[in-house]
């Protein structure tokens, strides 16, 4: 059954990830393999139940009964019924995720709008018709890239509370990408930015990742801040500005 395979696969991956963590921890090196497996078994059971309790009004006793029945291979429901119930469960979880994303987006958009409204009044901050705001820290003298060019940049991305979510400096090397392959706010800025410049971009949600967010740190509806240093154009692409 597909759902059983998915659950087993997740448990196997988690098991080996835990084993690696134990191997790296000197305090566990003296434990016998069997003892480690017992501890992992307990930890997995605890973690799974804790996570599920937060997503659904779970009956712990029935959950444990289901585990015991699976162990004995004596299901009280048909495989088809179990499949239907798991499908319904996934549907409920998905709806909860959608509702949470909507609430998060509304909250973050409200905070982002207030931030941008105050920010545009600060000295040196310019606002484009799209709503993108930017501040020039250093004005370069090099060429301006077109949408098809590949550029090299150093950058740091933060939330409006100054939490850093990404940085090429931390990775120790600049990033390379095609101008028309980045978020809209970046692309719009790069098309008017001279090589050698360093700007701060204040990017509204609709010019960033919108209501979907990105990863764990960039929530739905988040306004983002980027400090970008345009180091150079590393590959020129053909671009017909006439649109023909």
Tens-digit pLDDT profile for residues 60-73:
788 888 888 988 99
Are 217 and 162 within 8 A, CB to CB? no
Residue 147 to residue 23: CA distance in whole angstroms: 48
Residue with tokens 């098991």: 15
pLDDT score recorded for residue 4 = 46
Residue 183 to residue 153: CA distance in whole angstroms: 14
Residue with tokens 């706010």: 185
Residue ranges of the chain assigned to CATH 3.10.50.40:
122-235
pLDDT score recorded for residue 8 = 46
Q: Is the pLDDT of residue 130 over 70?
A: yes
Q: What is the pLDDT of residues 77-121, one digit of tens each?
A: 998 998 999 899 889 888 988 999 999 999 999 999 999 999 999
Q: Quick one: CATH architecture of 122-235? A: Roll (3.10)
Residue 189 to residue 224: CA distance in whole angstroms: 14
Percentage above 90 pLDDT, the chain? 59
Q: Give the count of alpha carbons within 13 A of 79, CB side only.
A: 5
Are 224 and 218 within 8 A, CB to CB? yes
Are 220 and 104 within 8 A, CB to CB? yes
pLDDT score recorded for residue 243 = 53
The Cβ of residue 31 has, within 10 Å, a number of other Cβ atoms equal to: 14
Q: Is the pLDDT of residue 10 over 80?
A: no
For the ranges 7-16, 27-36, 197-206, 231-240, the maximum mean pLDDT occurs at 197-206
For the segment 174-197, the average pLDDT, to the nearest whole number, is: 96
Rg (CA), the chain: 25
Determine the 3-state secondary structure of 220 from DSSP: coil
Residue 220 to residue 104: CA distance in whole angstroms: 6
């Amino acid at each position: 059954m597909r759902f059983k395979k998915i659950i087993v696969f997740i448990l196997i991956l988690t098991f080996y990830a835990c084993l690696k963590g134990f191997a790296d921890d000197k305090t566990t090196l003296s434990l016998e393999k069997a003892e480690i497996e017992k501890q992992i078994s307990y930890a997995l059971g605890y973690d799974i139940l804790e996570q599920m309790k937060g997503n659904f009004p779970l009956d712990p006793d029935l959950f444990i009964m289901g585990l015991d029945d699976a162990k004995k291979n004596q299901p009280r429901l048909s495989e088809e019924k179990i499949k239907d119930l798991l499908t319904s469960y996934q549907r409920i979880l998905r709806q909860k995720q959608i509702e949470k994303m909507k609430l998060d987006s509304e909250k973050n958009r409200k905070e982002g709008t207030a931030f941008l409204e105050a920010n545009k009044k600060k000295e040196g901050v310019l606002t484009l018709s799209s709503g993108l705001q930017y501040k020039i820290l250093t004005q370069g003298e090099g060429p301006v890239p077109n949408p098809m060019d590949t550029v090299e940049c150093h950058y740091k991305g933060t939330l409006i509370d100054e939490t850093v979510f990404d940085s090429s400096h931390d990775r120790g090397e600049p990033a390379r990408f095609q101008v028309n392959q980045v978020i809209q706010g970046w692309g719009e800025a790069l098309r008017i930015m001279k090589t050698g410049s360093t700007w701060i971009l204040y990017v509204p949600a609709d010019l960033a990742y919108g209501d979907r967010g990105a990863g764990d740190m960039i929530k739905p509806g988040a306004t983002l801040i980027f400090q970008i240093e345009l180091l150079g154009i590393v590959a020129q692409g053909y671009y017909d500005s006439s649109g023909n």
